[in-house]
């Protein structure tokens, strides 16, 4: 069980915490546009919370300390001019390196410790100025804020007896701790507490903004990454620190775009990505996915990869600035602006891939990717991939994979696409075992749960999209066995694997038109193209369209049917 009373240690306030009488404590201004809306992005949360975390800045004058209110506006309580600070939970913590991170940890890894017991000097203060002035009378004094007032506390002790001895020496005050929700701001690498904040479980957490006087657009260093906006540190349920980046929406988008597209890509493609990222974030926020952790979005791939200003460049930033406030909507609602790397030649209905129906997420044939196939291959080569790909499985391997998901089957001897979508992607596949029994699965289950494929545009025995279903007299035909053709000279000949049919896209081997494969030497080949889930915008398709001179709005409306961009 965690202690109810926890830490806060002393510091030399005279040099550390500064508020000039003539400097106002500025709050955040209200947002005027969608892009200026402050959102909460989870950085460390759940099982990845931290006992302590470091912050630093190289410009400006230290930090403002306070909290973010219910409207995500910053409410300042104190300043520090120190440029290297740490936030730690108010339990006994020790400074040093643990699990590859040098900060404050639970384990006694060094002699630098910040204890959870203090001596509180009698009297409450209504302003930080008053409390700071009194705290400077003590070498290890600091200001603590709780219950809506400022208090002066002295010392930082690992046990109650140490604090009791200090109380006796001072001949005043009482030994105190904090609630299990409190945090300390510490001068990094020392035992000097600069400020203590206890929200008593109200859920505000400690807020920190860069630059003590509030002027200018500054960034903050955290875990070797520079971040815009501020940070919030909350001990949800009395645990370690849940760390949230409080950042304006368009600054967040600037941290997403360069992790989805290269800064060197055409501007219109980057603009399309910016609108997708902005819209996707707003749509996801309405779903309250991370309500339990008290933030709107996380910075991982389950939402969107976001790493502050890392990898951002002038081109990607420009794309965000030039689409400021622009979103994609359908019938007045933010769309679920999903995107993938490449679709292999055709996107797909969300209903086919995920089961959910969105009128704007319907499959479209995409001729643009083919024009940049060589560039895609070059880009994918670093990950050991290519635009077109094949995978092979033995019949026994496929059988084992089916059994692992609950099917009782013999060795798989053949596989075929049993239903195609309007854009030529598989809707369902059928595997046949050595006993002649068929097992029909939807395409996503096969591509993810049975085998691991790079996209949902695939077929058996040849490249996906190179064939359609072969029909004779209106009936689908999966094999050429026993079929004959009458030639121009009137001769009747049996069809073989060299026969061709004429499709809307050109000539295709008729033997492949059924999308089936019989294991040769026990091996079944799956061929496909693209990389990703095939729904919504293709990033490489957007790249190709932008190179051809199409605008970001044209690109978006190509991939999302019937949307409004603005």
Instruction: Give the 3-state DSSP-derived string for 21-39, with helices as H, strands as E and coil as C.
Output: CCCCCCCCCCCCCHHHCEE
Angle, CA 143 vertex, CA 138 and CA 146 arms, to 5°: 145
Task: Note the pLDDT of residue 413.
Answer: 95
462: left (phi over 0), alpha (psi -120 to 50) or beta: beta
Given a contact cutoff of 8 angstroms between Cβ atoms, the answer to whether 93 and 105 are in contact is: yes
**Which pTM value belongs to this model?**
0.84
Closest listed residue to residue 216, CA positions, set 24, 61, 92: 61
Q: How far apart are CA 515 and CA 417, in angstroms?
A: 5
Predicted pLDDT of residue 24: 35
Residues 235, 182: contact at Cβ < 8 Å? yes
pLDDT at 479: 59
Sheet of strand 113-114: strand arrangement: 101-105, 93-98, 113-114
In b/e form, how buried is each residue of 67-80, taking b as 16+ CB within 10 angstroms? bbeeebbbebbbbb
Which run of H or of E encompasses 248? strand 242-248
Angle formed by the axes of helices 249-260 and 314-321, nearest 10°: 130
Phi, psi of 437 (to 5 degrees): -90, 135
Q: At what angle do helices 552-559 and 267-286 cross, to 10 degrees?
A: 50
Between strands 297-298 and 38-44, the pairing is: parallel
Instruction: Tell me the two tokens of residue 81.
Output: 């001019």
**Cβ-based neighbours of 397, under 8 Å, separated by 6 or more:** none
Tell me the pLDDT of the chain (566 aa) as tens digits: 222 222 223 333 333 333 332 233 333 333 448 889 999 999 999 999 999 999 999 877 899 999 999 999 999 999 999 999 999 999 999 999 999 999 999 999 999 999 999 999 999 999 999 999 999 999 999 999 999 999 999 999 999 999 999 999 999 999 999 999 999 999 999 999 999 999 999 999 999 999 988 888 899 999 999 999 999 999 999 999 999 999 999 999 999 999 999 999 999 999 999 999 999 999 999 988 898 999 999 999 989 999 999 999 999 999 999 999 999 999 999 999 999 999 999 999 999 999 988 999 999 999 999 999 999 999 999 988 999 999 999 999 999 999 999 999 999 999 999 999 999 999 999 999 999 999 999 999 999 999 999 999 999 985 444 444 454 543 455 556 666 666 656 566 776 554 545 443 333 434 444 456 666 568 999 999 999 999 999 999 999 999 999 999 999 999 999 999 99
The rounded distance, in Å, linking the Cα atoms of 555 and 558 is: 5
- Rounded Cα–Cα distance for residues 255 and 261 (Å): 11
Question: What is the C-alpha end-to-end distance of the chain, expressed in Å?
Answer: 53
| Residues 20-36 as b or e (16 or more Cβ within 10 Å = b) | eeeeebebbeeeeebbb
- Give the span between the Cα atoms of 529 and 531, in whole angstroms: 7
Contact 497, 431 (CB under 8 A): no
According to the model, what pLDDT value does residue 363 have? 97
Cα(563)–Cα(186) distance, integer angstroms: 50
Using CA atoms, how far residue 354 sits from 80, 118, 533, in Å, is: 50, 56, 9
Query: Cα dihedral sign for 304, 310, 314, 317?
Result: positive
Query: Residue 20 — left, alpha, or beta (φ > 0 → left; ψ -120 to 50 → alpha)?
Result: beta
* Tokens found for residue 113: 């410790």
């Amino acid at each position: 069980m965690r202690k109810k009373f926890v830490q806060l240690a002393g510091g030399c306030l005279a040099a550390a915490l500064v508020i000039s009488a003539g400097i106002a404590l500025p709050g955040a201004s209200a947002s005027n546009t969608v892009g200026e809306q402050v959102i909460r992005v989870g950085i460390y949360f759940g099982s990845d919370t931290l006992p302590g975390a470091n912050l630093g800045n190289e410009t400006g004058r230290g930090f403002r300390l306070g909290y973010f209110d219910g409207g995500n506006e910053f409410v300042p309580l104190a300043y520090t001019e120190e440029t290297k600070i740490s936030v730690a939970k108010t339990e006994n913590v020790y400074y040093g390196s643990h699990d590859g991170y040098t900060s404050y940890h639970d384990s006694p890894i060094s002699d630098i410790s910040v204890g959870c017991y203090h001596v509180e000097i009698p009297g409450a203060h209504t302003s930080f100025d008053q409390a700071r002035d009194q705290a400077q009378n003590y070498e290890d004094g600091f200001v603590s804020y709780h219950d809506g007032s400022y208090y002066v506390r002295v010392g930082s002790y690992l046990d109650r007896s140490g604090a009791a001895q200090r109380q006796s020496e001072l001949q005043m005050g009482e030994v105190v701790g904090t609630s299990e929700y409190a945090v300390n701001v510490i001068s990094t690498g020392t035992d000097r507490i600069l400020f203590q904040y206890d929200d008593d479980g109200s859920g505000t957490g400690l807020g920190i903004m860069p630059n003590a006087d509030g002027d200018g657009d500054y960034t903050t260093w955290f875990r070797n990454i520079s971040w815009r906006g501020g940070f919030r540190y909350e001990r949800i349920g009395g645990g370690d620190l849940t760390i949230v980046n409080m950042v304006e929406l368009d600054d967040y988008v600037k941290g997403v775009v360069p992790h989805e597209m290269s800064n060197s890509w055409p501007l219109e493609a980057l603009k399309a990505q910016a609108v997708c990222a902005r819209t996707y974030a707003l749509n996801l926020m309405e779903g309250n996915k991370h309500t339990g952790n008290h933030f709107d979005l996380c910075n991982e791939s389950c939402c969107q990869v976001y790493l502050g200003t890392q990898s951002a460049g002038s081109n990607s930033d420009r794309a965000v600035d030039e689409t400021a406030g622009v979103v994609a909507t359908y019938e007045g609602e933010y769309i679920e602006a999903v995107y993938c790397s490449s679709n292999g030649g055709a996107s797909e209905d969300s209903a086919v891939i995920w089961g959910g129906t969105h009128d704007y997420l319907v499959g479209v044939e995409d001729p643009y990717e083919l024009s940049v196939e060589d560039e895609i291959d070059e880009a994918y080569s670093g990950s050991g991939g290519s635009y077109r790909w094949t995978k092979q499985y033995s019949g026994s391997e496929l059988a084992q994979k089916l059994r692992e998901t609950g099917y009782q089957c013999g060795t798989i001897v053949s596989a075929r696409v049993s239903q195609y979508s309007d854009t030529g992607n598989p809707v369902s596949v059928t595997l046949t075992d050595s006993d002649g029994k068929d097992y029909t699965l939807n395409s996503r289950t096969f591509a993810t749960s049975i085998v691991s494929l790079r996209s949902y545009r695939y077929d058996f025995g040849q490249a996906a999209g190179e064939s359609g279903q072969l029909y004779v007299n209106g009936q689908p035909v999966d094999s050429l066995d026993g079929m004959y053709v009458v030639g121009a000279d009137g001769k009747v000949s049996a069809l073989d694997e060299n026969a061709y049919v004429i499709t809307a896209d050109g000539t295709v081997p008729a033997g492949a038109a059924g999308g089936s494969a019989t294991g040769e030497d026990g091996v079944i080949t799956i061929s496909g193209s693209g990389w990703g889930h095939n729904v919504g915008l293709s990033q490489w398709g957007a790249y190709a369209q932008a190179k051809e001179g199409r605008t970001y709005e044209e690109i978006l409306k190509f991939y999302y049917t019937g949307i409004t961009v603005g």
